[in-house]
Structure 1
Amino acid sequence: MHVFPLPSLAFLATLVLTGPALAAERLTVMLDWFVNPDHAPLVIAREKGFFAEQDLDVELVAPADPNDP
């Protein structure tokens, strides 16, 4: 039976536990109305890649019916 030294096991555990942290966090932003000038900062930030720089995958969603709360 082969015994792994403790530093090797610690390194392996670090790799396994930090893997999911490398994926971009997915966010959905529900707009309060159809896309309009009030939402310009969000649209511009997404188009210029500012969210991606912060490892965020942002989806902007307009409501199906803006009259619904």
Structure 2
Amino acid sequence: MIAAFTWCITALSLTGTILNVKKNSLCFWLWAVGNTAWLLYDLWLGTYSRAALDVVQLAFAVWGIFAWKKKVPST
């Protein structure tokens, strides 16, 4: 069960990377979900240094969500 969970998170994260290469901002949403899942998993395992990395990567994903929002021209 856990192995299936981690493989799904891996697939989600890699899909985010592919979307990033294609300049699709959905990548940041996938990374945010994936990083949150990895964070919970790493906290459950007690791998706190890895969890710290997950927090930083989650922050970058959230930053990307806001930075890549389409700018609406003011009229």
Q: Is TM (by shorter chain) over 0.5? A: no
Higher relative contact order (CA 8 A, sep 6+): 1
Structure whose CA Rg is larger: 1
| Structure 2 length-normalised TM | 0.28
User: Which has more helix, going by share of residues?
Assistant: 2
User: Which has more strand, going by share of residues?
Assistant: 1
| Structure 1 length-normalised TM | 0.29
